[in-house]
A and B are shown apart, each in its own frame.
Chain A
């Protein structure tokens, strides 16, 4: 009995809602007035259940976007290390330091120009001699490798292999005076004031 009653009520209600949806929102039946007003107001038009699921995701996405923007702003290019040789210190521009420029006589300046030209010629000859020496050494090596190849292929291949133990190769260059046999260098300490830059 109660089941049939509820079924009838349900049918009535559905009929009402169908007629409502057909006719539009303006039709207000006395049964559904408060419910209708509830449904048409804007902030309450979204379903509350779906809002809960999307919100944390949206918040996370928003936070990540903000973080990325912050990182981009913080990415400053590293400061360039100044080359101290290229910076003229203001001490050198002091006027009190200028030397009295000595005037050169005509012969002196001529002599300097001629000496520069001679030096240029001398250096060129030196360079040409060096280049020739290197070329003849290379030619000698090429011939040697040719002859070795004629003699035996495996020795030739062994000769072509690079020597891993050769590098790093160090040799102390020529000094002004030869080293003394029993020389004790005087002890002393120094303060290293070189500036170290970190990027």
Chain B
């Protein structure tokens, strides 16, 4: 009884205090976005003073995904269930025309081979006797064997991290090795935002400006961007030595895109990698990976 009362009483007190401080200092919109991170307090004072120019520099990155090309293999339980369902459905079904024909042919053959066979009783079945259903089945099997489908799994291509045709059953994400703050690291392709363009255009520029991304003839990576809104954000502060008044850090906004049609004849170059979601952790920085992992769906 006492505890809820205290809570009820304290809430309006807190609201009163916060409203008092709000009107006193002049911060209007930022209390709503307050979270538990400590650096926000210093950030808010700065944001109030430089409302139009944020101290964070803006960068847009693109998360280009190649969706799976072939269906994934069955897991053991899926295989078991599949077999069981096929069996159950077979038991519950009725005989099809083809099966009836097989049975009739077998019956006729049996009667033919029996000793007391009278061909006059059969009537005129001459045209049907020539082609048995079994012969049809055999001819179909032969036709199927002449067709050679492309192999589903190619180990040599799977191991080549730079090729877009590896691991056809999974969805792959494009990573590029770019220079950030003096060192080369693997990350989603990104570029700096320029005045007068939306962040999505920056992301498109980032995709287009990948080194050797496209051969001189074709247009390279044809990607469909999914909407104008970013799907994730990663912000980091520059080390204290590099911090100035205007640039405390960088905010990287990610945009999702789906690879629609890539010309496979491009020579795979070493500066880009196509990775499955499970392999991303090895190549990305830990904090970056944590943010990026959330919006990369492996469905």
Q: Is this pair of chains taken from one and the same complex?
A: yes
The verdict on A102 contacting chain B, using a C-beta distance below 8 Å, is: yes
- In chain B, positions 122-141 with a C-beta closer than 8 Å to chain A are none
Which residue in chain B gives the minimum CB-CB distance to A136? B294
A93 to chain B, nearest CB (A): 9
Q: Chain B residues near A141 (CB, 8 Å)?
A: 229-232, 295
Q: A178–B230 contact, CB under 8 A?
A: no
Q: What separation, in Å, do the CA atoms of A140 and B77 have in the docked complex?
A: 33
Give the A interface residue count (CB, 8 A): 47
Give the B interface residue count (CB, 8 A): 53
Q: B251–A178 contact, CB under 8 A?
A: no
Q: A177–B94 contact, CB under 8 A?
A: no
Which residue of A94, A140, A160 has the most chain B CB atoms within 10 A of its CB atom? A140
Q: Chain B residues near A5 (CB, 8 Å)?
A: none
Which residue in chain B gives the minimum CB-CB distance to A178? B150
Q: Which of A112, A151, A158, A169 contacts B224 (CB 8 A)?
A: A169
Q: B228–A134 contact, CB under 8 A?
A: no
The verdict on B101 contacting chain A, using a C-beta distance below 8 Å, is: no
Q: Is the interface of A mostly helix, strand, loop or mixed?
A: helix
The verdict on B71 contacting chain A, using a C-beta distance below 8 Å, is: yes
- In chain A, positions 60-79 with a C-beta closer than 8 Å to chain B are none
With A118-B77, A166-B227, A178-B70: A146-B150 Cβ-Cβ less than 8 Å: no
With A92-B94, A115-B84: A175-B233 Cβ-Cβ less than 8 Å: no
B226 to chain A, nearest CB (A): 7
Q: B231–A144 contact, CB under 8 A?
A: yes
With A98-B94, A119-B81, A151-B58: A166-B226 Cβ-Cβ less than 8 Å: yes
Q: B297–A159 contact, CB under 8 A?
A: no
Q: A115–B81 contact, CB under 8 A?
A: yes
The verdict on B100 contacting chain A, using a C-beta distance below 8 Å, is: yes
Q: What separation, in Å, do the CA atoms of A92 and B228 have in the docked complex?
A: 54
Q: B69–A150 contact, CB under 8 A?
A: no
Query: Footprint of A on B, CB under 8 Å?
Result: 33, 47, 52, 54, 56, 58, 67-72, 77, 80-81, 84, 88, 91, 93-95, 100, 149-152, 168-169, 198-200, 224-233, 235, 251, 253-254, 258, 260, 291, 294-295, 297-299
28 example contacts (A-B, Cβ-Cβ < 8 A) are as follows A97-B100, A98-B95, A99-B93, A99-B94, A101-B91, A112-B84, A133-B297, A137-B231, A137-B294, A139-B294, A140-B231, A140-B291, A140-B294, A144-B231, A144-B232, A144-B253, A147-B251, A151-B56, A155-B199, A158-B198, A159-B228, A159-B229, A166-B224, A169-B224, A171-B260, A176-B71, A177-B152, A178-B70
Query: Footprint of B on A, CB under 8 Å?
Result: 92, 94, 96-99, 101-102, 112, 115, 118-119, 122, 130, 133-134, 136-137, 139-141, 143-148, 150-152, 155, 158-163, 166, 169, 171, 174-180
Q: Can you name 19 extra interface pairs (CB under 8 A) apart from A97-B94, A177-B150?
A: A92-B94, A130-B299, A137-B294, A140-B294, A141-B295, A144-B232, A145-B230, A147-B253, A148-B253, A151-B56, A163-B227, A166-B227, A171-B67, A174-B67, A174-B69, A174-B71, A175-B70, A178-B150, A180-B149
